[in-house]
């Protein structure tokens, strides 16, 4: 068996060698030629798994050590009989840490702040729970969940009208009534009434970066951007005008990376009927029961440090991301 592993996946080296030939490649080296004779791929978001990469290959298993799968053509893989696994929820506490550590850096908050959470899956659910525990009034927007479950959800127009802080945690989808591509477009940004801080730590194209830059220049809206359109090629001007600007590292905790790698390895075990020795051991994502204050979260992580590093070296976006000093989760 030939296994290709993206070289930037941590906590994996040496664990797959008992099962075949393993190559650790930088994402730009995971090409159609490189994967042609491969059976299994372990990737992250920088590897696009589609016909251009996989046609003519022997790949039957793909594990992405990430929450999202928008870098994978799932229909193509399904039609080709290629098994795909991801790591839902692996970094949810780290993203919550990022969101509230950023909120904590605002000069002041209203006495009864309203937090709008758009997308209430694994990540958004933890953020909503933390927000409620920290005294925020939380508005939750998730149309697919609302249709399935009913319950305490609202629409994005209400969030635009009532939220002081809006944070996005949806997958990236481009078709259908629930498409999230440019969900925060010029019309949405123009409709904001009270919003003081907009956060995108989900997928870059959820927020129209051109429209966001114009809104910042016009209204002074504070924006915390971790996921960018067309990254690592950032929109000129936006980097310097955001409140915080980070290189797609919101979910980069040591524990989150361990969970992602473990989930990828467990999927490999299940697919091939093997047992891997030495997998990382880490607990399930915490629910936030021990979060007591914004000050507690702020003490655990300072997004201004990562902002300064990116602004000092925008061309180093990928290097900053790939060699990030993984932080500890707050709980």
Domain boundaries, the chain: 2-86, 92-251+294-322
Q: Quick one: average pLDDT of 317-325?
A: 95
The DSSP output letter for 51 is H
Q: Quick one: average pLDDT of 223-239?
A: 96
Active site members: 203, 231, 248
Burial 254-293 (b: 16+ CB within 10 A, else e): bbbbbbbbbbbbebbeeebeeebeebbebeebbebeebee
pLDDT of residue 145: 94
CATH superfamily of 92-251+294-322: NAD(P)-binding Rossmann-like Domain (3.40.50.720)
Q: What is the pLDDT of residues 109-126, one digit of tens each?
A: 899 999 999 999 999 999
Q: What is the pLDDT of residues 128-151, one digit of tens each?
A: 999 999 999 999 999 999 999 998
Q: What is the pLDDT of residues 61-79, one digit of tens each?
A: 999 999 889 899 999 999 9
pLDDT above 90: percentage of residues in the chain: 90
pLDDT above 70: percentage of residues in the chain: 98
pLDDT of residue 288: 56
| pLDDT > 70? residue 285 | no
Q: Which residue has the higher pLDDT, 274 or 290?
A: 274
Rounded to two decimals, the pTM is 0.90
Band of the pLDDT at 281, cuts 50, 70, 90? confident
Q: What is the pLDDT of residues 154-212, one digit of tens each?
A: 999 999 999 999 999 999 999 888 999 999 999 999 999 999 999 999 999 999 999 99
pLDDT of residue 257: 94
CATH superfamily of 2-86: NAD(P)-binding Rossmann-like Domain (3.40.50.720)
Assigned token pair, 45 = 């978001």
Peptide bond into 232 cis (omega under 30): yes
| pLDDT > 60? residue 289 | no
Q: Which residues contact 40 (CB under 8 A, 6 or more apart)?
A: 1, 2, 3, 4, 59, 60, 61, 62, 63, 268, 272
Q: What is the pLDDT of residues 4-18, one digit of tens each?
A: 999 999 999 999 999
The answer to whether 2-86 and 92-251+294-322 have equal CATH topology is yes
């Amino acid at each position: 068996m030939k296994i290709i592993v993206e070289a930037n996946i941590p906590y994996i080296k040496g664990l797959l060698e008992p099962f075949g030939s393993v190559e650790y490649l930088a994402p730009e080296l995971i090409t159609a030629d490189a994967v042609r004779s491969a059976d299994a791929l372990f990737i992250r978001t920088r590897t696009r798994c589609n016909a251009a990469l996989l046609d003519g290959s022997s790949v039957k298993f793909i594990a992405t050590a990430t929450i999202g799968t928008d870098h994978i053509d799932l229909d193509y893989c399904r039609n080709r009989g290629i098994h795909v696994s991801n790591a839902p929820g692996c970094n949810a506490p780290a993203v919550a840490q990022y969101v509230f550590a950023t909120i904590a850096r605002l000069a002041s908050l209203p006495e009864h702040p309203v937090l709008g959470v758009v997308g209430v899956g694994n990540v958004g659910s933890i953020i909503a729970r933390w927000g409620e525990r920290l005294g925020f009034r939380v508005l939750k927007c998730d149309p697919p969940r609302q249709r399935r479950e009913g319950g305490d959800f609202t629409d994005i127009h209400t969030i635009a009208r009532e939220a002081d802080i809006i944070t996005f945690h949806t997958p990236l989808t481009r078709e259908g009534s629930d498409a999230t591509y440019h969900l925060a477009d010029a019309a949405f940004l123009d409709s904001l009434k009270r919003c003081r801080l907009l956060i995108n730590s989900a997928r870059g194209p959820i927020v129209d970066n051109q429209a966001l830059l114009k809104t910042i220049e016009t209204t002074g809206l504070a924006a915390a951007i971790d996921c960018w359109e067309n990254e690592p090629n950032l929109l000129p001007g936006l980097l310097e005008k955001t409140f915080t600007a980070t290189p797609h590292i919101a979910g980069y905790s040591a524990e989150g990376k361990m969970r992602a790698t473990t989930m990828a390895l467990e999927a490999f075990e299940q697919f091939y009927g093997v047992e891997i020795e030495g997998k990382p051991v880490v607990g399930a994502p915490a629910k936030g029961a021990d979060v007591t204050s914004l000050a507690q979260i702020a003490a655990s992580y300072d997004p201004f440090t990562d902002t300064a590093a990116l602004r000092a070296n925008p061309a180093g976006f990928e290097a900053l991301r790939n060699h990030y000093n993984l932080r500890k989760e707050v709980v």
